[in-house]
Amino acid sequence: MNILITSLARLLIFPGLLFAVPAAWFFLWVERKAVARMQGRIGPPFMQPFYDFIKLVGKDTPQRTGASEMLMKAWPLIAVSAAAGAVGLLPVLPASGGFQGDLILLLALLEVPSMCIIAAGFSSRSIFGEIGSAREAVLSVSYNVVFLLAIISIAASQHTFRLDALAQLPASPLRWLGILAILVCLPAKLHLNPFSLPNAEQEIYSGPMTEYAGPELAMWELSHGLEWVAATGLVATLVAPQLTLWWVAALVFVALSFFIVLLLSVVASATARLQIDTTVRFYWQCTLIFAVLAVASALFMRFRA
Amino acid sequence: MNILTMLWKNLWGGSRTMLFPARPAAGERFRGLVRFDPELCTGCAICKMRCTSRAIEFKTGKGEFYWSYDPGQCTFCGRCVEGCKSHALSQDEECPPVYTTIGELKKSYTVARKPPAPKPPAAVAGSTANPATGGAQ
Amino acid sequence: MKLWNRLMCYCRRRSPWLFHMNAGSCNGCDIEIIASLTPRYDAEQLGVRLEGSPRHADILCVTGPVTHNAVEAIKTVYGQVYGPKAVIAIGSCPATTNVFIDSRTLAGPLNLHIPVDVFVPGCPPRPDAIILGVAKAAEILAARGNKPATVASEPEVVGECSNCACREANPKEVQA
């Protein structure tokens, strides 16, 4: 019973839904405001992502004919629930029992939103959706190699896939190498410049999202915000030192995520969108080195230990 | 690295934005709304002929004429102002306001024709001028 | 319900998403729309976002006198914008076809084809005038609620949001 209560609290309150949704809006605002300030503008007011969400919920729902109506309604909901689940699984608080989850589960949940975007573009039966989904698929294949290799090598060096072991990493060069590799993959995961291909507005009319409107679009925006929280939270838990008091751990988690959001905003405002071939070449030629180094050092440490 | 120093300067240098209802001042030769002075107008209708977008309407009547200007139709080129010999038209620095109904901004005037100025004495003996001619267009 | 309607009215005014469409324009007004997103004028301080798809937007900004080729496209895109929606005619061309008044290639001013809410005159209008027009259209959108606009330019009836603060900003809508 105790286990059920604590796992429900982790999934629903902190770092679950009750924390994740306002944190998602907050991080979306921080990114827009930081990019605006660095461009010399003022930027949106504080509650802007919340206003956008409520306004989208109040728009007309689209009526679509054909078999794809159920499917198109389902994709944003699957994306939101997967992203919220990923946030709920993050090992923020020291292991207090309850549903521990697994690194494999966390990685799978982090992948589901981009799979949903790809599927949504193809099921929208619009040419812009197909092109956008194809781009998103190519992007996903490229950055996932580095991302998964880096995080799996960090886990393999600890000889376990349990999440609380990830939160208690010893300080080693392998850990920082892995964190650096993951940070390089984050702009692609979150569709930020320089890898914001699927959102190329002037070229493909918002790509996979072209046919979405109203409450479904609100769900897509929310899933995007939750992806922000999950991805930055993952790096924050890897970086954070081991702390005993739960509220100090929570504060450090939020502060580190905030700092990573600022870092990503600097990268987003300093760069322009790269083409698809440059992106693929970047991830397969340049950053693969990181991942290979991480795997090599993990193997090395394993055979030494 | 230039981009990073630029971002840093932007971040700490403050924004250059004008907060919402503030608007930048127009320069002194800005071609804004056309202003009409009924006192100076002689009813020659050169402005209507020169107008490129038919924003100026002119109808003549007995002893008076009707002049109207629609800023929604106007393209602010300034030909009417250049062509007006009596300097009744001028362009000020005010931008036309935003409106919601077609024709809302149209301004019309009905101006009585003024008698022509009395001729100088040297030419009085030779003229048989009839002062109040409502000259046809 | 009342609270939800007031919240919806408040949020609609603060989050106008734009879709820009060119119906045969000379591009002068299009450039000024882009200029209103630059740091000096910064439309984003009002929450304005230029969207890539008409289905995402609330406000359709149309520039240009409507040429014969563009009429069907304008009507299609207007149908693709989900309600509640508003239309802004930017520049003097869509309002009155401006200098092209005798041209054979035009299908008339914009309000013959779709209901237009705000006209922003100018050739081209200054970016601050465009932002004023967007703010006014956002207020009209918020006050309209969920009632659809009519084709002819009849005055708009205030929707269900009759208590919110946007009414004081726009007393003309109440008398309509």
Asked if A202 and C52 come within 8 Å (Cβ–Cβ), the reply is yes
Digit-coded pLDDT (tens) for C155-165: 444 444 444 45
Burial class of residue A59 in the structure, from the number of CB atoms within 10 Å of its CB (0-12 exposed, 13-18 middle, 19+ buried): buried
DSSP run (H or E) holding A227: helix A214-239
CA distance B17 to C41: 6
With CA atoms as reference, the chain B residue closest to A34 would be B11
Closest CB from A36, A39, A270 relative to B4:
A270
Residue A172: predicted pLDDT:
76
Asked if B4 and A38 come within 8 Å (Cβ–Cβ), the reply is no
pTM (2 d.p.): 0.86
User: Which of B11, B12, B16, B18 to mutate to probe the A interface, most A CBs <10 Å?
Assistant: B11
Digit-coded pLDDT (tens) for C3-60: 988 999 999 999 999 999 999 999 999 999 999 998 888 888 999 988 888 999 999 9
State in Å, rounded, how far the first CA of chain A is from the last one: 39
* Domain-located, residue B88: yes
Asked if C129 and B100 come within 8 Å (Cβ–Cβ), the reply is no
* Domain-located, residue B64: yes
Q: Determine the Cα angle at A92 with ends A90 and A96, to 5°.
A: 100
Q: State the pairing for strand pair C118-120/C86-90.
A: parallel
Question: B69 by DSSP, 3-state: which?
Answer: strand
Q: Is B136 on the interface with A (CB under 8 A)?
A: no
Domains in chain A, number:
1
- C chain contacts of residue B73, beta-carbon cutoff 8 Å: 92, 95-96, 98, 101
Integer CA distances (angstroms), C96 to A74, C90, C107, in order = 46, 11, 11
Q: How confident is the model at residue A275 (pLDDT cuts 50, 70, 90)?
A: confident
User: How would you classify residue C123: left for phi > 0, otherwise alpha for psi between -120 and 50, otherwise beta?
Assistant: beta
With CA atoms as reference, the chain A residue closest to B3 would be A270
Mean pLDDT across B24-44? 86
Q: How confident is the model at residue A200 (pLDDT cuts 50, 70, 90)?
A: low
Residues B59, B109: contact at Cβ < 8 Å? no
* Residues of chain A above pLDDT 90, percent: 27
User: Which of A32, A52, A59 to mutate to probe the C interface, most C CBs <10 Å?
Assistant: A59
Residue C152: predicted pLDDT:
39
Asked if B10 and A39 come within 8 Å (Cβ–Cβ), the reply is yes
* Residues of chain A above pLDDT 70, percent: 94
Residue B17: predicted pLDDT:
84
Burial class of residue C29 in the structure, from the number of CB atoms within 10 Å of its CB (0-12 exposed, 13-18 middle, 19+ buried): buried
Closest CB from C44, C47, C52 relative to A206:
C52
Mean pLDDT across A284-296? 80
Mean pLDDT across B74-91? 89
Structural domain containing residue A43:
2-304
Using the predicted structure, report yes or no on whether residue A161 has a pLDDT greater than 90: no
Q: Which two tokens stand for residue C54?
A: 């008409």
Structural domain containing residue C138:
2-175
Domains in chain B, number:
1
- C chain contacts of residue B106, beta-carbon cutoff 8 Å: none
Asked if B7 and A42 come within 8 Å (Cβ–Cβ), the reply is no
CA distance C27 to C30: 5
Domains in chain C, number:
1
* Domain-located, residue B43: yes
Q: Helix, strand, coil % (nearest 5) of chain A?
A: 75, 0, 25
Mean pLDDT across B109-136? 62
Digit-coded pLDDT (tens) for C67-103: 999 999 999 999 989 878 999 999 999 998 888 988 8
Asked if A266 and B7 come within 8 Å (Cβ–Cβ), the reply is yes
Residue B126: predicted pLDDT:
46
DSSP run (H or E) holding C119: strand C118-120
Residue A277: predicted pLDDT:
86
Residue C98: predicted pLDDT:
86
Count interface pairs B-C at CB distance under 8 A: 89
Using the predicted structure, report yes or no on whether residue B48 has a pLDDT greater than 80: yes
The CATH number covering residue B39 comes to: 3.30.70.3270
Digit-coded pLDDT (tens) for C101-145: 888 999 989 989 999 999 999 888 999 999 999 999 999 998 887
Residues A181, A223: contact at Cβ < 8 Å? no
Report the neighbours of C using a cutoff of 3 or more CB pairs below 8 angstroms: A, B
- A chain contacts of residue C147, beta-carbon cutoff 8 Å: none
Using the predicted structure, report yes or no on whether residue B123 has a pLDDT greater than 60: no
Mean pLDDT across A190-202? 76
With CA atoms as reference, the chain A residue closest to C11 would be A51
CA distance A90 to A119: 26
Residues C134, C16: contact at Cβ < 8 Å? yes
Asked if C44 and A44 come within 8 Å (Cβ–Cβ), the reply is yes
Residue C114: predicted pLDDT:
92
Instruction: Check whether the bond before C84 is cis (ω within 30° of 0).
Output: yes
- B chain contacts of residue A270, beta-carbon cutoff 8 Å: 3-4, 7
Using the predicted structure, report yes or no on whether residue C153 has a pLDDT greater than 70: no
Q: Is B23 on the interface with C (CB under 8 A)?
A: yes
Mean pLDDT across A149-176? 78
Pick B79 or C148 by higher pLDDT. Answer: B79
- C chain contacts of residue A58, beta-carbon cutoff 8 Å: 8, 11-12, 84
Q: How confident is the model at residue B114 (pLDDT cuts 50, 70, 90)?
A: confident
DSSP run (H or E) holding A278: helix A276-281
Residues B50, B83: contact at Cβ < 8 Å? yes
Using the predicted structure, report yes or no on whether residue A229 has a pLDDT greater than 90: yes
CA distance A96 to A6: 8
* Residues of chain C above pLDDT 90, percent: 52
Report CA dihedral (A289, A291, A297, A302) to the nearest 10 degrees: -150
Q: How confident is the model at residue A71 (pLDDT cuts 50, 70, 90)?
A: confident
Digit-coded pLDDT (tens) for A116-138: 999 998 888 888 888 888 888 98
Digit-coded pLDDT (tens) for A12-67: 887 788 889 999 999 999 999 999 999 888 889 999 999 999 999 988 887 777 65
Pick B84 or A158 by higher pLDDT. Answer: B84
* Residues of chain C above pLDDT 70, percent: 83
Mean pLDDT across B26-32? 84
Residues in C lying within 8 Å of B, measured between beta carbons: 39-42, 45-46, 92, 95-96, 98-99, 101, 109, 111, 117-123, 125-126, 128-129, 131-133, 135-136, 140, 153, 172
Structural domain containing residue B108:
27-114
Mean pLDDT across A294-301? 79
* Domain-located, residue B11: no
